[in-house]
């Protein structure tokens, strides 16, 4: 029983830390009460961790002071039949009892629940966080006092305490996650789009913007055949369309077709857009024009 309670606190501790908000929040929005309580636990991580540490400490002391003497007493009976001195029997029984209790405590009370929480953190958090929050509310006065003392010690060490488990990532961390997932086959980045996205964040609009008169543009009265010739000549699939005065941009976008071997179009002239559109100059083997 004590091992099971100890395992609960260990599992709850690692589940609250390891669970991802991105997996819990959608369930909370769908009305899951367990998910809402789990989010509360994640937002009050220090309170939850203090509760689990208190529970683990109490269980460990009880296991040592209750289970060890009981096993020690049971071992003295068969060891007494060996004819050894009473002092030797007591020492041997104590060592064996301590090894048994320590083994069960470490394996069943610590390692197993910890590994389960690491393997399925979201499910473990949804299962274990609600009862943990209930226990935390019962012992809240004691936990608040312990938390205040621990936070004071942290501040003396110039460490700022945090109440919420970290669930955000820096750009470098996200890039590392993508790289690792790509290596393990969980993500595909054959075109380099994901990698390019990280590199693009380091650029500003002024780094890539060019004057309008320097762009390859087409008049808004251009016919489909004229656009086809421009595509064949320049190899671009995006163009800025300007009015007759060359001052008011309209938009024209293209769509690539993997089955077409030449630029084709079946639409009429472009309709001018109310705002300018920056177009990318991307190259493609074939085009099918889509007009707006």
Residues 180-213: pLDDT tens digits? 777 776 666 655 666 666 665 566 777 777 776 6
In a domain, 161, yes or no: no
User: Does 220 lie in the same domain as 114?
Assistant: no
In a domain, 224, yes or no: yes
Residues 12-28: pLDDT tens digits? 999 998 888 888 888 88
User: Does 71 lie in the same domain as 150?
Assistant: yes
Per-residue tokens: 142 = 């004691």
User: Does 250 lie in the same domain as 127?
Assistant: no
In a domain, 185, yes or no: no
User: Does 110 lie in the same domain as 40?
Assistant: yes
Would you state the pLDDT for residue 242?
A: 77
Query: At which of 156, 176, 197 does a domain end?
Result: 156
User: Does 150 lie in the same domain as 9?
Assistant: yes
In a domain, 44, yes or no: yes
User: Does 219 lie in the same domain as 142?
Assistant: no
User: Does 146 lie in the same domain as 243?
Assistant: no
Residues pairing with 254 in the sheet:
289
**What are the phi and psi torsion angles at 64 (to 5°)?**
-70, -40
In a domain, 189, yes or no: no
Q: Running along the chain, 292 residues long, what does each successive block of 10 average in pLDDT?
A: 92 90 88 91 87 92 83 81 82 87 90 92 92 92 85 84 60 70 68 61 70 75 84 80 65 45 42 40 36 36
Region of residue 158 (left: phi > 0; alpha: psi -120 to 50; beta: else): left
Report the number of distinct structural domains present in the chain.
2
Residue 142: give the domain boundaries: 2-156
Query: At which of 118, 137, 156 does a domain end?
Result: 156
Distance from first CA to last CA of the chain, Å, rounded? Answer: 71
Query: At which of 141, 156, 171 does a domain end?
Result: 156
Per-residue tokens: 208 = 């890539």
In a domain, 278, yes or no: yes
In a domain, 166, yes or no: no
Whether the pTM exceeds 0.75: the reply is: no
């Amino acid at each position: 029983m004590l091992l099971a309670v100890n395992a609960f606190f260990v599992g709850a501790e690692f589940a609250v830390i390891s669970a991802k908000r991105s997996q819990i929040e959608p369930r909370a929005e769908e009305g899951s009460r367990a998910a809402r309580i789990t989010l509360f636990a994640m937002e009050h991580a220090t309170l939850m961790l203090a509760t689990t540490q208190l529970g683990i400490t109490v269980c460990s002391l009880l296991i040592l002071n209750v289970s060890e003497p009981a096993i020690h007493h049971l071992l003295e009976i068969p060891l007494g039949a060996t004819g050894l001195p009473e002092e030797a029997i007591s020492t041997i029984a104590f060592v064996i009892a301590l090894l048994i209790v320590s083994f069960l405590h470490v394996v069943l009370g610590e390692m197993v629940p910890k590994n389960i929480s690491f393997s399925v953190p979201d499910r473990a958090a949804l299962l274990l966080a609600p009862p943990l929050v209930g226990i935390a509310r019962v012992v809240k006065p004691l936990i608040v006092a312990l938390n205040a003392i621990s936070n004071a010690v942290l501040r003396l060490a110039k460490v700022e305490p945090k109440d919420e488990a970290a669930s955000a990532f820096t750009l470098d961390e996200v890039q590392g996650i993508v790289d690792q997932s790509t290596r393990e086959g969980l993500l595909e980045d054959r075109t380099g789009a994901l990698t390019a996205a990280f590199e693009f964040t380091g650029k500003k609009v002024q780094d890539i913007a060019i004057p309008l008169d320097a762009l390859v543009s087409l008049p808004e009265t251009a016919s489909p055949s004229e656009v086809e010739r421009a595509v064949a000549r320049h190899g671009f699939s995006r163009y800025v369309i300007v009015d007759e005065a060359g001052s008011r941009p309209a938009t024209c976008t293209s769509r690539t077709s993997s089955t077409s071997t030449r630029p084709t179009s079946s639409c009429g002239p472009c309709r001018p857009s109310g705002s300018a559109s920056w177009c990318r100059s991307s190259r493609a083997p074939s085009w099918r024009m889509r007009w707006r």
